[in-house]
Structures are given as structure tokens and as C-alpha cells.
Amino acid sequence: MLTTEFFDISLWMYLIIFVMVFVGSVIDALAGGGGLITIPTYLMCGLPPHIAIGTNKINSTMGTLISTVTYYKRGFVERRLVIPIVIATVLGAVSGSGCVLLLPDKILKYFMVALLPFIVVLMIRQKLPDIEQPAVIKGAKQWLKLMVVVFVIGFYDGFYGAGTGLFLVIAFSYLMRMNVYQSAGNSKISNLASNCSALIVFVMNGNICYPLAIIATVAAVLGQILGSGLLIVKGSLIVKPTIFFVLSILMVSTVYDLIR
């Protein structure tokens, strides 16, 4: 099922979408949160919110798949963590989706506005873990901590979702003490699991503008390839500034949603 809204989109809009999805995908490969750039771009081009989110899921899923494969080949994804991360993500997302019907999302937005400054302070006061000393998840406490972290962020993704990839990278880096490569690689597993689950729902309900999705997917794949390459070469030198940049976008967009 296709929608008719895309017929009103000009060639310039297609070009804008290509450029912005490319930029968002580069950022997403580095620190997550690319949807904070790509979804507003779709909305600016006149797509209804459900079509914008659904279309974005296609390019997001394909782009995330590319970066996940890249990080996996580089050894940034820990095989023994894949299944636990996927399970915790899906359980959290399902629980969060169920709560959407029970609680207004404004409650979570107010909480985020209060929480984000504390995250920034945490990042300023603490250095990113040493690249040369990768974290090793072992012992019941660490495994429980990992599962709780992923479940909570998965819950957030199912409930609201803005900046989920960003929160995963921050949590893996500052709570689990993974280095930037581990954080990027393992967070993509969770992202990919949640994206695939959501994409199935959007496809089944016909909430996709396929002509736009094709163009955006090409841009997303190219952006994720570039972003993955930058992470491999620059590491923490580029990741931390990118995280601050995406956090700023998330704060501005959340406050705007609350006051409009």
C-alpha cells in the first residue's frame, strides 16, 4: 500500500532528504540519534508523522545493518552479548509500547528535560574509557547491569524513542565502561533489533513512502559507511563531540515539543 502524498514532493525536496539522511546516518554511525535529524526532514517535506516515521525506519534499518556488519567484522560486536542484548531490547520495547496507551508521553519529555543536563555533566566529569582496555562483561552483577540498561533503553524506545541509539552509546560508555568501539558496535545490535521489529509493523500497515525510502536508503548506507570509517580512524576524538551535538539537538527538540 502506497500513499499519495509523495507526488507533491519536488526534486529539491528529494535532494534535501538525500543530503540530510546522509548527514544523519554519519552521525548515527558515530553516536546514534540520527533520527533526530532525518525524521524532522521528512516532516518538513510534508509527510504525515506516521509516514515519516515508517519511511525513516527503512533507511534507518538498512543503514544500521551496514554499520553493524562493519563493526562486527572489526570485532567491535561481542558475540556472546548479541542474544542477551536482543532479548532485553525486544522485551523492553514491547513493554514500552504497551505503556504508551496508559501514560501521556509528556511525562517522559519532562523527565528527559530534567535528565539531559545531568548526562552532560557526567560526560564532562568522566573521560571515555581507554580504547586500549576493552571492558569484559563477567559476573552476575555486570550481566544484570547490562540487561537492566538495555531493557530500560528498549522500554524508552518502545514508549517514545527519540535518541535511543545515543542513549545506548552513552550507557555502554559511561555505565558499562565499554570503549568507543565496543559501545558503537554493541549498541548497533540493540538498534537493529528494535528497528527490524518496528519496520515489520510499519510495512504491514502501509506506512511507507517507497520512492522516498529508496533514495533515503542509498543516502543512509553511504552515510553509515562514512561514519563507521570515521569512528575506526578517529575514535573518541570524534565520538564525544558528536554525542554533545546530538544531545543538544535532543534537548532543543524536546523543549520545543513541550512548549508548542
Q: What share of the chain is helix, strand, coil (3-state, %, to 5)?
A: 80, 0, 20
Which one-letter DSSP state was computed for residue 131? T
Query: Rounded to whole angstroms, how far apart are CA atoms 34 and 67?
Result: 13
Range from 23-27, 28-32, 201-205, 233-237 carrying the lowest mean pLDDT: 201-205
Q: Is the pLDDT of residue 101 over 70?
A: no
Query: Are the CB atoms for 5 and 15 separated by under 8 Å?
Result: no
Q: Which residue has the higher pLDDT, 102 or 45?
A: 45
Q: Which of 202, 100, 88 is nearest to 151 (CA)?
A: 88
Query: Are the CB atoms for 186 and 172 separated by under 8 Å?
Result: yes
pLDDT digit string, tens, across residues 132-189: 778 889 889 999 999 999 999 988 887 777 788 899 999 999 999 999 999 999 999 9
CB environment 124-160: b (16+ within 10 A), e (fewer)? eeeebbeeeeebebeeeeeeeebbebbbbbbbbbbbb
- Segments making up each domain of the chain, as ranges: 5-259
Q: What's the whole-model pTM score?
A: 0.86
Query: Rounded to whole angstroms, how far apart are CA atoms 218 and 190?
Result: 22
pLDDT digit string, tens, across residues 28-54: 999 988 988 998 998 888 888 888 888
